[in-house]
């Protein structure tokens, strides 16, 4: 079955450490996205990629980095420069052709906690 997989489900980070969240999809989707969700807030876009080897900053990119070396994979690194990284992180993908009604397919999320 096709889908989008995020790992790990829970992640603990010490202050000053970089951590990388994994996102893999086998849906053959071109576009992939990273969102952050805090309690009581909506989804805020961190980075997105429309095609391999290309990505764009979203609304809250500071302190994060991404790569898109393969169509299937879009890992997110939370760097030590991100001052408040504790949050729920969601990865999503979508097929091209939004006019036909393709929305996002979401991964199950990674909950990152700074200890």
Nearest to 18 by CA among 65, 68, 88: 65
| Residues within window 69-108 making contact with another protein, judged by CB under 8 A | 88, 90, 98-99, 101, 103-104, 106-108
Comparing CB distances to another protein, the nearer of 58 and 75 is: 58
Alpha-carbon distances, residue 54 vs 17, 80, 95, 97, 104 (angstroms): 26, 23, 16, 18, 19
The residues binding another protein (CB under 8 A) are 31, 33, 40-43, 45, 48, 50, 56, 58, 88, 90, 98-99, 101, 103-104, 106-109, 111
């Amino acid at each position: 079955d096709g889908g989008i997989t995020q790992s790990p489900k829970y992640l603990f980070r010490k202050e000053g450490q970089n951590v990388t969240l994994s996102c893999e999809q086998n849906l053959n989707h071109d576009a992939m996205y990273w969102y952050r969700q805090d309690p009581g807030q909506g989804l805020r876009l961190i980075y997105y990629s429309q095609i391999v080897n290309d990505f764009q900053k979203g609304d809250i990119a500071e302190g994060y980095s991404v790569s898109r070396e393969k169509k299937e994979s879009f890992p997110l690194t939370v760097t030590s420069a991100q001052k408040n990284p504790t949050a729920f992180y969601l990865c999503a993908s979508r097929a091209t052709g939004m006019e036909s009604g393709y929305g996002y397919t979401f991964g199950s999320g990674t909950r990152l906690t700074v200890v």
